[in-house]
Amino acid sequence: MTAYHKERRAHGLDALRGIAAVAVVFVHAVHIHPLGVEHKDWSTDYFSMGVPLFFIISAFSMSLAYPGGVSLDRSWTYALRRFFRIAPLFYVMLIAWLYAGVQAETGTILKNVTFLFGFVPNEQTSLVPAGWSIGVEVIFYLLFPFLWAWRNIWAALLLFLIACLGWAAINLNSQGEVPDYYYWTNFLTNAPFFALGLIAWCIYQTTKASLMRPLGFLALAAGLAGLTCMFLFGPFPDTAQKVHEPIPFIFVLGWGLAFACLALSQALQPVAFLNNPVTRFLGKISYSLYLMHPFLIYMTNLTRWAATLTDNPNLVVPVVCAVTLAVAIPIATVLYYVVEVPFMLLARYVTKPASRNTASQRLA
């Protein structure tokens, strides 16, 4: 794979990222606090699958951003930009949680500050609720330059096979007594999702322009069919599954293939009901929305208050989700522009000379 003819940013993926963030907000809005009123079970546990979708999009997006890989002379640029992308907001939320009274030993705080918590089974859930995925993401960032050196479909398939062996090492071997969420938040459990994102990028990258539209619609149909099958017949991602039990391979493979097809479809041929100004904006602020909303829910009575706004048990969950999202989006927007954007600009400024040199070397 030597010719890279596609754009380095697929806005359809940004839209999917926004949808994934909203899905996670919904599941937490319903489950963090008891709502205190009778309500219909809307099976909101399924929305927790927004996190694996994040992982697939991340691998796809990283491949788009670095289609030629990460060379040794660019490694510091890569590392600095990744750090400034995730660390500032994570630190803001870590300080907020510690100030709010979360108790932790100095060693645990240091592991969170250095993003090493993802390597420690007892601490991989992070001090920042929902932050466990950042620990998983950091491990992928560290491995990406080394594991993705060849950037072709055969390498991606090999990485998927290795990732499946990693899943087996965690979920098929008896681990004895393990911490809560050990299987759900372990990098090796989630590694196949990243590998599927790399496979999807390879297909995207080698698709001829004349085939992008039909293949995009075919991938969309396959993705939606896969999601329907997992919803109807797949293992249920309830709290007991996520807290205590090993993750079945059909769970990883089924959701992973469906999401990979969905990501591929929105990179090749975005459709308006998924990719529109609203979902793209949500994608822009998705990191702030994702990392901030648990703090909002935990520290306020917002969801319990929202549950009292209707007497109809069928409408309690939709109302709670809508109110939570309505409050969370403005806060996330402020965080995005006040915390995320300045540090992304700083990273670009600091690495700008190196980027120019690299570009000159490519043209030479």
In a domain, 4, yes or no: no
Contacts of residue 183, defined as CB under 8 A and 6 or more positions apart, other chains included, come to 170, 171, 189, 245, 246, 247
Number of independent structural domains in the chain: 1
Q: How many other CB atoms are there within 10 angstroms of residue 311's CB atom?
A: 9
In a domain, 2, yes or no: no
Report DSSP state, residue 101.
T
In a domain, 156, yes or no: yes
Report DSSP state, residue 248.
P
Domain extent at residue 290: 11-363
Cβ 62 vs Cβ 113: under 8 Å = no
Is 120 strand, coil or helix? coil
Rounded CA gap, 350 and 8, in Å? Answer: 21
Which single residue is written with the structure tokens 């930009």? 81
Task: Look up residue 76 and give its two tokens.
Answer: 């510091």
In a domain, 162, yes or no: yes
pLDDT in tens, 240-299: 888 989 999 999 999 999 999 999 999 999 999 999 999 999 999 999 999 999 999 999
In a domain, 3, yes or no: no
Rounded CA gap, 167 and 195, in Å? Answer: 12
In a domain, 225, yes or no: yes
Instruction: Name the pLDDT band for 70 (thresholds 50, 70, 90).
Output: confident
- Radius of gyration for the alpha carbons in the chain, expressed in angstroms and rounded: 20
pLDDT in tens, 94-138: 999 999 999 999 999 999 999 999 999 999 999 999 999 999 999
In a domain, 1, yes or no: no
In a domain, 77, yes or no: yes
pLDDT higher than threshold 70 for residue 8: no
